[in-house]
Amino acid sequence: MFNDQLSLSDFIEMPSYRCLGTILSDGIKNLGAALQQKNGANTVMSIMEASPYISTSFLLADLAEKISMTNDPDYANLLLPLYEQCLERIAASVYNPEDLERCIKACPAYADKILNNILSDDQKTQRILTAYEHQDIEKTRAELCEKYPAYAGKWVASIAPGPLPSG
């Protein structure tokens, strides 16, 4: 059932609540095999980025949920190769505080690297801080400082509201 990229794509995009029995076990095994292949992480990341309806952060969170559904400790670090090889692309998929939270929850071991990547890039930081038209940027900044207190100083020192930097 899971022998080609299309089938891997179907598994990645299938909501976790629909993955039961052999669909889940075969899908996770296939995902693990794909991530171990040369350029496998890039292939998996490309599948997620190409999804026309589901954001990358949702797909990452859902993959983490599928992995946890297996209750198999051997799969606990299954997403590590994806984060190791595609950190920049994962960080680039973060558009708002919820995306950030989903990406961190999917692989908590990479929380510091994700946060540092975003906070070192004015455009990514600005995009998150200005994600909500209905919410004041300072309120968003305060919420991020509260959620990620070790990075409060960096959120506070981040760029002021204004147009996105060009570049």
- Cα–Cα distances in Å, from 159 out to 12, 86, 119, 130, 154? 36, 25, 10, 11, 10
**Pair 67, 76: CB distance under 8 Å:** yes
What is the pLDDT at residue 145?
A: 95
pLDDT of 147 reads 96
pLDDT tens for each residue of the chain, 167 residues long: 444 434 899 999 999 999 999 999 999 999 999 999 999 999 999 999 999 999 999 999 999 999 999 999 999 999 999 999 999 999 999 999 999 999 999 999 999 999 999 999 999 999 999 998 888 899 999 999 999 999 999 998 886 555 544 54
Q: Report the pLDDT value the prediction gives residue 161, as an integer from 0 to 100.
A: 55
Task: Please provide the DSSP assignment of 104-144 as one string.
Answer: HHH-GGGHHHHHHHHHT-HHHHHHHHT--TTS-HHHHHHHH
Q: 41: which residues sit within 8 A by CB, 6+ positions away?
A: 35, 81, 82, 84, 85, 86
Confidence (pTM):
0.88
DSSP annotation of 148: S
**Helix 5-13 to helix 56-69 angle, to the nearest 10 degrees?**
90
H or E segment to which residue 4 belongs: none
Predicted local confidence at residue 165, as pLDDT: 46
Question: Tokens 């929850």 correspond to what residue?
Answer: 105
